[in-house]
A and B are shown apart, each in its own frame.
Chain A
Amino acid sequence: MVSLDQLKEEVKKALSSGKVKYFIGYENIGSGWQVRPAFIRQPEDVDRLVWTPACFHNLVRFLHDEKRRRAREKNPDIRPVGLVVKGCDSRSINVLLQEKYIERNDVYIIGVSCELTGVINITKLNQHLNGLKPQKVLFGSKGTFKVIVDDREIEIEAPDILADRCLECPANFPVIADVILGEEIKRNPGNRYQSISAYEKMALDERWSFWQQQFSRCLRCYACRSVCPMCYCDECVADSIAYAVTAETTADEKAQKTRWVERNPELSENIFYHLVRAIHLAGRCVDCGECERVCPVEIPLRLLNKKMEKEAKELFGYEVGFDPAQPPLIACFRDNDPQDFIR
């Protein structure tokens, strides 16, 4: 069991010794059970921190902001930023290290083990409670969640309301951390590619009509891109207005930029955008599932990323996020890579 007091103690220690610049964790929204990222700057603020099954955010995403802020400042504070990470988040730190986007000493990691549970899916929770409003959602003992509704306690088996990504998680334990809280208990994920197997079995036309329906709903709000710990480009190739414009950029340069994807949310452009994103995340996506969670029209984006993860594993034996020293997937090759599709 991860002890919240221990977490607070560690954060307090790191902050008061001046080892970290600030600390990013989770705090409750008001007195409710839902959670938001919390930026802790003073040691006395650590009491705001919480650790509940609703801590699904991937805080690694805030490292991009930090890096940009540092680049802007004249005399930046180069002390590391403290982060609370789960197993999946720690893998995304590994990918950022692998790509040399950050250095290891840019970040002070407090890893928390998900143990036998993980984070919840709000939709599943609401369905399970059948209209009742939860007051608190807490970790129970031995792979259960404790939900407090109308001052009584309901115990729910973890798999019933666990987020889809947690059901397929390859390591529910931080793979890189300075301090680790909680026990390393392996939860057996079963088939890691369970969610996509149904779609792979579909006939071609069925698959197309499924994805056509999904993509035609896309609003191109780019929430999936904003929340993604891997989408750190200043200039997005799939977004014709996200150009990195400096004082030196001429009007001509702006006008001559290649527009791969038009801005209108038409089906053809949406497909283009999502395919480009899937390819750019191939071998980088750690399946933290945030894109799917934030999508306002509920496009199952994890299915795309999971497919790429599966192909990387099956075709090239590539595991994402476990080894910060391994080269990125498409920046390396093996002589015996499969080529039976090539004439």
Chain B
Amino acid sequence: MAAEFEPRIVAFLCKWCSSAGADLAGVSRMEYPPNVIPIQVMCSGSVSPLYVFSALSHGADGVLVSGCHPGDCHYIKGNYYARRRLALVKKLLEYIGLEPQRFQMSWVSATEGVKFSQLIYDLVKELKPLGPQTKFRRNY
């Protein structure tokens, strides 16, 4: 029997909120699928579109960028910049023909362990039927 497809999700989590939120989910022993590869960044505003494209070209099936809720950014306004920039990235990726589910953004605060684990459940559920991401993947 062929094993079920397990998507690999690269998650860029901001150090001050989302990373702590993911940590809280772990410390509170909440279960969530092991498909996510967390990468801690200092701020969601520091996530360059290059990171997203690079993750996709290295074969990520989905990319998640997560930061503090608007108004809660440790650097005051980093997540506002991220919101604007990544909105453009999302529109561009969809325009090129990438499934919109493959690039997601969320606000997860340090206290929202439950939200984080639920988010990963949802992402995995959405990405499973899409199958592997081959459009942007390097294949040489």
Using a CB–CB cutoff of 8 Å, the interface residues on chain A facing chain B are 199-200, 204-212, 237, 260, 262, 264, 266, 268-269, 271-272, 275-276, 278-279, 282, 304, 307-308, 311-312, 315-316, 329-333, 335, 337-339, 341-343
Closest 9 CB pairs of A and B: A208-B97, A343-B106, A333-B80, A207-B97, A268-B138, A342-B105, A279-B49, A311-B91, A330-B85
Select B95's contact among A260, A262, A266, A307, beta carbons within 8 Å: A307
Output the nearest chain B residue to A280 by Cβ-Cβ distance.
Answer: B49
Which A residues lie within 8 Å of B98 (CB)?
A: 208
Q: How many residue pairs, one in A and one in B, have C-beta atoms under 8 Å apart?
A: 111
What is the bound-complex CA distance between A86 and B16, given in angstroms?
Answer: 49
Q: Are B50 and A260 in contact (CB under 8 A)?
A: yes
Q: List 17 A-B contacts (CB under 8 A).
A: A204-B94, A211-B96, A260-B54, A268-B138, A268-B139, A272-B53, A272-B57, A275-B96, A279-B49, A304-B92, A307-B91, A315-B91, A333-B83, A341-B90, A342-B83, A342-B106, A343-B107
A303–chain B nearest beta-carbon distance, Å: 9
On chain B, the number of residues with a Cβ less than 8 Å from chain A's Cβ atoms is 37
B133–chain A nearest beta-carbon distance, Å: 11
Select A266's contact among B90, B104, B140, beta carbons within 8 Å: B140
Output the nearest chain A residue to B77 by Cβ-Cβ distance.
Answer: A333
Q: Are B92 and A278 in contact (CB under 8 A)?
A: yes
Assuming the A-B contacts A260-B50, A268-B137, are A330 and B81 also in contact, with contact meaning beta carbons closer than 8 angstroms in the complex? yes
Which A residues lie within 8 Å of B99 (CB)?
A: 204
Which A residues lie within 8 Å of B106 (CB)?
A: 342-343
Which A residues lie within 8 Å of B97 (CB)?
A: 204-212
Q: Are B87 and A315 in contact (CB under 8 A)?
A: yes
B38–chain A nearest beta-carbon distance, Å: 16
What is the bound-complex CA distance between A337 and B80, given in angstroms?
Answer: 8
B25–chain A nearest beta-carbon distance, Å: 15
Chain B binding surface SS class: helix
Q: Are A275 and B92 in contact (CB under 8 A)?
A: yes
Assuming the A-B contacts A268-B136, A343-B104, A343-B106, are A276 and B88 also in contact, with contact meaning beta carbons closer than 8 angstroms in the complex? no
13 further A-B contacts with Cβ under 8 Å, apart from A275-B92, A276-B53, are: A260-B54, A266-B140, A272-B54, A276-B49, A276-B50, A279-B49, A282-B88, A307-B91, A308-B91, A330-B88, A337-B87, A341-B105, A342-B106
Q: Mark B87-131, 1 if CB is under 8 A from A, else 0.
A: 111111111111100001111000000000001001000000000
Q: B26 at the A/B interface (Cβ < 8 Å)?
A: no
Which B residues lie within 8 Å of A268 (CB)?
A: 57, 136-140
Output the nearest chain A residue to B91 by Cβ-Cβ distance.
Answer: A311
What is the bound-complex CA distance between A200 and B53, given in angstroms?
Answer: 21
Q: B29 at the A/B interface (Cβ < 8 Å)?
A: no
Assuming the A-B contacts A260-B54, A276-B50, A330-B81, are A339 and B88 also in contact, with contact meaning beta carbons closer than 8 angstroms in the complex? no
Chain B residues numbered 6-64 whose CB sits less than 8 Å from any CB in chain A = 49-50, 53-54, 57
Which B residues lie within 8 Å of A335 (CB)?
A: 70, 80
B36–chain A nearest beta-carbon distance, Å: 14
Q: Mark B71-87, 1 if CB is under 8 A from A, else 0.
A: 00000010011011101
